Structure 1
Amino acid sequence: MVVLSWIPFATVLGGGVAGYLQQGTRMGGAKVGAVSGLVAAVPVFAVLGLVFSIFSFGAIVSGEALGTAVLVALALFALAVTAVVVAGTGAVGGYLGVYLRERTDEDEYDHGPAATDPTVEVDPETAP
């Protein structure tokens, strides 16, 4: 997600790769995708924290306690929304990654005996 952050829904791609490589169930893939989205969002959290700390520093210096409280509440809300969106889209990607793996990988049962046409018995009376 960090490398592909310029692509919309990069967390879906990151979660999809994590789910595909996880080789588990679809729910397991969703969990791995959500965690991978949250881990990859650490730089986003750092930037949001930096931006809001700069703005809140101005409010603290000017002595406006209400402004500081509003900015802290806004920062926490922004971080919560970001975490929910990143984890949710990563979970969707993880689920889809496992689904794609199930559809494309060959199982050990796919290599069984080749399907053959049933043998046709020839009636000697009607055979040419």
Structure 2
Amino acid sequence: MDAVANVLVGLVAALHAYIMVLEMFLWEKGPGRKLSGFDPAMARATAPLAANQGLYNGFLAAGLVWGLIAGDPTGFRVQVFFLVCVLVAGLYGGFTANRRILVAQALPGALALGAVLLAG
């Protein structure tokens, strides 16, 4: 179960690194605009906000990687903390902004959290 948990945590970290790149560097380009659904003017106007969101997603990814490489009990605790952050952010975003966030962010976070808790 430990290997499954580590793979799921790694996938959630990779997802958040990808979101960071989209929001920080590709927001006004095709992939970012496809994600947001914004026209060029709205993408340009919201780029600073998206970059800020992207930075936070990068922190989530970094924390999850830290949890993977740190020895226990620190690694376990760090993984739980950052996965709870991912889950809360996904639930908040899903209920306040876009329901797709529930599937794209909250569900992977919840699955990884469950696996980590079972393995721990």
TM-score in same-fold range (> 0.5): no
Report TM bin, short chain.
0.3 to 0.5
**Relative to total residues, which structure has the larger helix share, 1 or 2?**
2
- TM (norm. structure 1) is 0.31
Larger Rg: 1
The alignment's TM-score, normalised by the length of structure 2, stands at 0.33
